[in-house]
Amino acid sequence: MDDKAQEQEYYLMWKTRGPIRRLIYPLEGLISDAAWGGVLLMICTAIALYLANSEWAHDYHEFLNAPVDVGLGNSHLVLDVHHFINDALMAIFFFVVGLEIKREVLVGELSKVREATLPAVAALGGMIAPALLFLALNFNAEGRHGWGIPMATDIAFSLGILSLLGRRVPLSAKVFLTAFAIVDDIGASLVIAFFYTESISWTMLGLAGIFFGLLAFCNFTGIRRSAPYIILSILLWFCFLKSGVHPTIAGVLAALTIPARPRLQSDEFLISTRMLLNRIEEKREEEEDVLKNKEKHSLISDVELASRLTQTPIKRFENALHHWLTFFIMPVFALANAGIALDGDIVSKLTHNVTIGVMLGLLLGKQIGVTLFCWIAVKLGWAQLPRNVSWGMLYGLSWLGGIGFTMSLFITNLAFGRESIHRDDAKLGILVASAIAGIGGCIVVSLFLPEKAEETNADVETDSEL
């Protein structure tokens, strides 16, 4: 056995040491798979639909209306369960969205104008065409306020569906869909901020500006500890909640202030840890118990500190929140918002202008807007198709862009109040359109996949699994 294989074997032995680790380790890859997050969302959606149409429907809605008292000392904030999920937990969702936006703008597909042009144009077309289709059917009706609903794309669901097709999907296709969905999230956040805000308290908005300035100051002065950012972000969220602007916008703004550069660069980390490990190696002949050897304990603590300083705060937050977002916040959001009462004439619900507008917007609007705008951008020489992505595959990706779900349900809550008769119509349109878009996109993309997996794609995925 060569040295590299021996090192790999020792690494796996260390990762699985102990009975609990041996039990958990095989499940970690399963849990990290984005597709399983989508499966959990579908399960929670089915549960919500069942509860809303069962003998427990009254209890289901009563629970969502139950008050939640969020207190800190003598200060108290009372929200019902539904608002707590949509205003507080979803602020964390938008915080992660903001982190992804910042990362993509700094080092991802949105960092270079040439590479960012096509997904940006795709997102623009994918927002304009659905909104126009919806307004064409609801312009003079009460439901016209829902024009922003079909503009959204659920990044988790769309990528989860794409991952079901395996390694034959080119990496460039996944990158394009990710960048397109992120730009779409930027657009949705702007729509929420500017068009779904009824009244504004300028005093609270001014306080929010102060806290945002303090967050930016923490970044400027090189503060890398998480605590100041968490405390100031909570205060920023509270000010937005009281200002009238939807508090989830605070999540995006707070994310933009999180530092994206490590305090210790990679070469500095290698030099420092190599020196520390050499000193630990020299101590091997001494007392093995770290608790009894203060110097060895200090050296190991320094290695831990060096590792932490090499990580970027933005990535640290993403890693800490990723599983909470995928396996708790989004499923809870689905449980609270996907419960639609299907009593009465289902056909009349499906043929209502709001329902049809949402379905046509997410299905036909996304396909037309994304494909047409991309075609114009390529023909004008503004952009070029991603490597190994054909026009047929891009058309399939435009289908997946029609999976609105989380963001569309969220905008529905803002567009239509709880007493609105159009709220359930819009949600029904979202669920039906998202299901059709997911199945249709999966079929269309599969028709244009190469017979063999792209080598670079396979290599990247293998590395990420390790």
Q: Model confidence at 73, in pLDDT bands (50, 70, 90)?
A: low
CB atoms closer than 10 angstroms to residue 288: 10
Copy the structure tokens of residue 215: 């967050």
The bridge status of strand 67-72 relative to strand 75-80 is antiparallel
Main-chain dihedrals φ then ψ at residue 351, nearest 5 degrees:
-100, 5
Best CA proximity match to 238, nearest among 210, 217, 208, 218: 208
Copy the structure tokens of residue 235: 């205060």
List, for residues 195-223, the tens digit of each pLDDT value: 887 778 889 999 999 999 999 999 999 88
Q: Are 403 and 156 a contacting pair, CB within 8 Å?
A: no
Copy the structure tokens of residue 255: 């994310």
DSSP class of 352? S
* pLDDT for residue 290: 57
Q: Model confidence at 114, in pLDDT bands (50, 70, 90)?
A: confident
* Residue 434, pLDDT above cutoff 60: yes
* pLDDT for residue 244: 80
| Close Cβ partners of 134 (under 8 Å, ≥ 6 residues apart) | 146, 147, 149, 150, 357, 358, 360, 361, 365
Q: Where are the domains of the chain?
A: 34-73+114-187+334-465, 266-308
Q: Are 313 and 224 a contacting pair, CB within 8 Å?
A: yes
* Residue 41, pLDDT above cutoff 90: no
Best CA proximity match to 354, nearest among 129, 141, 49, 130: 141
* CA atoms within 13 A of residue 288's CA, in its CB half-sphere: 0
Cα 85 to Cα 406: distance, rounded to the nearest angstrom: 13
Cα 159 to Cα 165: distance, rounded to the nearest angstrom: 10
Which stretch of 3-12, 148-157, 227-236, 265-274 has the lowest confidence by average pLDDT? 3-12
Q: What is the CA radius of gyration of the chain?
A: 24
Q: Which residues pair with 78 in a beta bridge?
A: 69
Copy the structure tokens of residue 195: 């068009």
* pLDDT for residue 440: 95
Q: Which residue has the higher pLDDT, 113 or 96?
A: 96
Main-chain dihedrals φ then ψ at residue 69, nearest 5 degrees:
-100, 105
Copy the structure tokens of residue 370: 């994304």
Cα 134 to Cα 150: distance, rounded to the nearest angstrom: 8
List, for residues 372-411, the tens digit of each pLDDT value: 999 999 999 999 898 889 999 999 999 999 998 888 998 9
Q: Model confidence at 38, in pLDDT bands (50, 70, 90)?
A: confident
Residue 435 class from Cβ within 10 Å (0-12 exposed, 13-18 middle, 19+ buried)?
Answer: middle
The H or E element spanning position 67 is: strand 67-72
Q: Model confidence at 25, in pLDDT bands (50, 70, 90)?
A: very low
Best CA proximity match to 399, nearest among 434, 367, 365: 367
Cα 223 to Cα 153: distance, rounded to the nearest angstrom: 34
Report the CATH fold assignment for 34-73+114-187+334-465: Na+/H+ antiporter like fold (1.20.1530)
* pLDDT for residue 291: 58
List, for residues 334-377, the tens digit of each pLDDT value: 898 888 887 767 787 788 899 999 999 999 999 999 999 999 99
